[in-house]
Amino acid sequence: MLASLRNLSYENLEIIVVDNGSPKFDPQIIKDKYPEIQLIKSKKNLGFAGGNNLAIKKASGKYLFFLNNDTEVKIDCIEPLVSLFESNSTAGIASPKIIFFESDDTIQYAGSTEINPWTGRNKGIGSMEKDMGQFDISSQTDLAHGAAMMVPKSVIDEVGLMPEVYFLYYEELDWCEMIKRQGYTCHYVGKSSIYHKESVSVGKSSLLKTYYINRNRLLFIRRNFFGFQKWSSYFVFLALAIPKRSLTHALNGEWKHCGALWKGVLWNVKSPPELPVT
């Protein structure tokens, strides 16, 4: 990622790297190889939101571009994103086109539908399609993608930091909802592209991912849906999705994944009944 950032055509940059409590090596080697960066060392793993929030507090830029460590950027990816915010004062958050790394230009993200308040489900636009230019047109969309998203610093100052209660997964979606509730819009910018090595950080089938994906889907429902819609989403998730996933793991002999899944559900049962929506 850092090597690709050196090739950017946009020059007015500061690059902040947060080492989120890495247990196995000294992050100083990153600074030694890329002396142009600012390196923040956290003594413990604060989660996706917590790590990003450390960088937000240090950043001096007008626009903050959040990138996963398993991404690489195209040379001209910054300019279209900045142009959006310079020309649209209501734009609050935006993501570029995201392409699976070394996939023959297979798209991961070209926008997203909203998370349906009745079912708790959503759909990625363009997912698994070959990039033939069909999603080069920018548009307003419902949700940004946490692997790559830009937010004006002024919007963060107004809305607040990324919600740290999630630790991993769904926090950027909750943040999108926080931003939209303040009257801002979410955008997909088709002329900007990055490559994503999906799930490199936690592993494609890790217990960590199983736990937090299920814990935080339910947490998102609790924080963002209300009334009959919330109860409908509870039903779809708890009565349909969870039993189906449990059965799939059981049939595959993945008993530890079954345990991680139900541990995530029980976390919500044990946590306070009302979580603040900020």
DSSP the chain: -HHHHTT-S------EEEEE--SSS-THHHHHH-TTSEEEEESS--HHHHHHHHHHHH---SEEEEE-TTEEE-TTSHHHHHHHHHH-TTEEEEEEEEEETTSSSBEEES-B----TTTS---BTTTT-B-SSTT-S-EEES--BTTEEEEEHHHHHHH-SPPTTSSSSSHHHHHHHHHHHTT-EEEEEEEEEEEE-TTTTT-TT-HHHHHHHHHHHHHHHHHH--HHHHHHHHHIIIIIIHHHHHHHHHHTT-HHHHHHHHHHHHHHHHS-S-----
Residues 75-84, mean pLDDT to the nearest whole number: 98
Is pLDDT larger for residue 246 or for residue 121?
246
Residues above pLDDT 70, as percent of the chain = 96
Task: Give yes or no for a contact between 112 and 104, defined as CB atoms under 8 angstroms apart.
Answer: no
Task: Give yes or no for a contact between 90 and 184, defined as CB atoms under 8 angstroms apart.
Answer: yes
Length of the chain: 278
Looking only at the bridges linking them, the beta strands covering 148-152 and 63-67 are: antiparallel
For residue 93, the model assigns a pLDDT of 98
Structurally, at CATH architecture level, domain 2-196 sits in Alpha-Beta Complex (3.90)
Residues 76-82, mean pLDDT to the nearest whole number: 98
Average pLDDT of the chain, as a whole number: 93
pLDDT band at 274 (very low <50, low <70, confident <90, very high): low
pLDDT digits (tens, 9 = 90+) for 3-42: 999 999 998 999 999 999 988 888 999 999 999 999 999 9
Tokens for 22?
Answer: 């890495």
Task: Examine the pLDDT at 136 and tell me if it is beyond 70.
Answer: yes
Task: Examine the pLDDT at 278 and tell me if it is beyond 50.
Answer: no
Task: Give yes or no for a contact between 207 and 256, defined as CB atoms under 8 angstroms apart.
Answer: yes
Sign of CA dihedral 126, 127, 129, 131: positive
For residue 25, the model assigns a pLDDT of 83
pLDDT band at 83 (very low <50, low <70, confident <90, very high): very high
Q: Cβ neighbours of residue 60 under 8 Å, at least 6 residues apart?
A: 14
For residue 197, the model assigns a pLDDT of 92
For residue 22, the model assigns a pLDDT of 87
Residues 144-166, mean pLDDT to the nearest whole number: 97
- For residue 151, the cross-strand partners are 64
Task: Examine the pLDDT at 227 and tell me if it is beyond 80.
Answer: yes
Task: Give yes or no for a contact between 96 and 189, defined as CB atoms under 8 angstroms apart.
Answer: yes
The radius of gyration of the chain's CA atoms, rounded to the nearest angstrom, is: 19
21-36 burial code (b ≥16 CB/10 A, e <16): eeeeeebeebbeeeee
Q: Cβ neighbours of residue 267 under 8 Å, at least 6 residues apart?
A: 215
pLDDT digits (tens, 9 = 90+) for 164-211: 999 999 999 999 999 999 999 999 999 999 999 975 455 567 899 999
208-227 burial code (b ≥16 CB/10 A, e <16): ebbbbbbbbbbbbbbbbbee
